[in-house]
């Protein structure tokens, strides 16, 4: 899968996307035939113990992107540009994205962007760096927003989102990710965009869907977003496995006692009437 073959899927079939943060997860996702693997800065919430994506650094993103790329997936590997990196000097932004691609092995980057960042996106594309735009709810701005909520239901927000999507497409993004946008507005943006619009919590009328791997697998504690559908219960299963292991160790059931050695075979006696030589 490349950025161009992904673009060509628009209007042909729904695009399947999921996050991954390490080699085993990337291999499983790729074996399932997903189209795009996002190494999201959501690694902060789901793996590193942070309460938001804000503390995730560029070094962390390069580290986890490299782990995913070592799986050599057929899926397109896209890496998040972390908090505030896109707002640095344009040359610094290019250097940050270059690290994600040259060292991390990403094939594209994702940027939480508005129309104001369209010139930066255009410069990155001109430098040979494919960009996926992220509109709607932008978790890196959680401290400004004051929390997570659905966006685009009010007229000024909806108009701003239309402008963001149009400006980013004009700047050369190969796809858009729309997070927690009003479903009717997401459907409208999907129809208007010439590039695929991938939704997360933005209704069923997008060109594709993406979920965090840990949400798909039921591998999280506490509240999950209302739009999530878990397809497994890994948190419960993993905890139960550790409980069983601990009990076996404490009760001397693991490791198991070695099996008794089989008795050595008795040699056949010499035939009657003959004297054994030796």
Q: Residue written as tokens 């798909």?
A: 216
The whole-angstrom separation of Cα 150 and Cα 33 is 30
Tokens of 35: 């189209």
Check 85, 169, 179, 188 and give the catalytic one: 179
CA 83 to chain centre: 17
Q: Residue written as tokens 């693997």?
A: 37
Contact 195, 176 (CB under 8 A): yes
Beta bridge partners of 78: 38, 108
DSSP letters spanning 234-265: HHHHHHHHHHHHHHHHHTT-SSPPPPPPPPPP
Annotation marks residue 179 as catalytic: yes
Contact 237, 218 (CB under 8 A): no
Question: Rounded to 5 degrees, what angle do the CA atoms 59, 62, 68 make?
Answer: 145
Contact 43, 82 (CB under 8 A): no
Tokens of 163: 């402008």
Catalytic positions are 179
């Amino acid at each position: 899968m490349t950025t161009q073959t992904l673009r060509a899927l628009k209007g042909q079939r729904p695009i399947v996307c999921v996050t991954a943060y390490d080699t085993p997860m990337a291999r499983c996702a790729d074996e399932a035939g997903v189209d795009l693997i996002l190494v999201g800065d959501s690694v902060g919430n789901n793996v590193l113990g942070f309460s938001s994506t804000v503390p995730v650094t560029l070094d962390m993103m390069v580290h986890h992107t490299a782990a995913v790329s070592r799986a050599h997936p057929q899926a397109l590997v896209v890496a998040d540009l972390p908090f505030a990196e896109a707002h640095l000097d344009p040359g610094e932004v290019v250097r940050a994205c270059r690290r994600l691609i040259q060292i991390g092995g990403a094939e594209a980057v994702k940027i939480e962007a508005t129309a104001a960042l369209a010139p930066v996106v255009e410069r990155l594309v001109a430098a040979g760096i494919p960009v996926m735009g992220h509109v709607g709810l932008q978790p890196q701005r959680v401290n400004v927003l004051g929390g997570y909520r659905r966006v685009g239901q009010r007229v000024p927000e909806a108009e701003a989102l239309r402008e963001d999507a149009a400006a980013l497409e004009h700047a050369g993004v190969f796809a858009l990710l729309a997070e927690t946008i009003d479903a009717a507005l997401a459907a409208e943006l999907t129809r208007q965009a010439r590039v695929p619009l991938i939704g997360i919590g933005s209704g069923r009328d997008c060109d594709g869907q993406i979920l965090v791997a840990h949400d798909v697998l039921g591998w999280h504690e506490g509240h999950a977003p209302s739009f999530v559908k878990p397809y497994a219960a890994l948190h419960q299963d993993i905890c139960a496995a550790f409980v069983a292991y601990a009990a076996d160790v404490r009760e001397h059931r693991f490791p198991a006692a070695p099996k008794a050695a089989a008795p050595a075979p008795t040699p056949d006696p010499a035939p009657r009437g003959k004297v054994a030589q030796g």
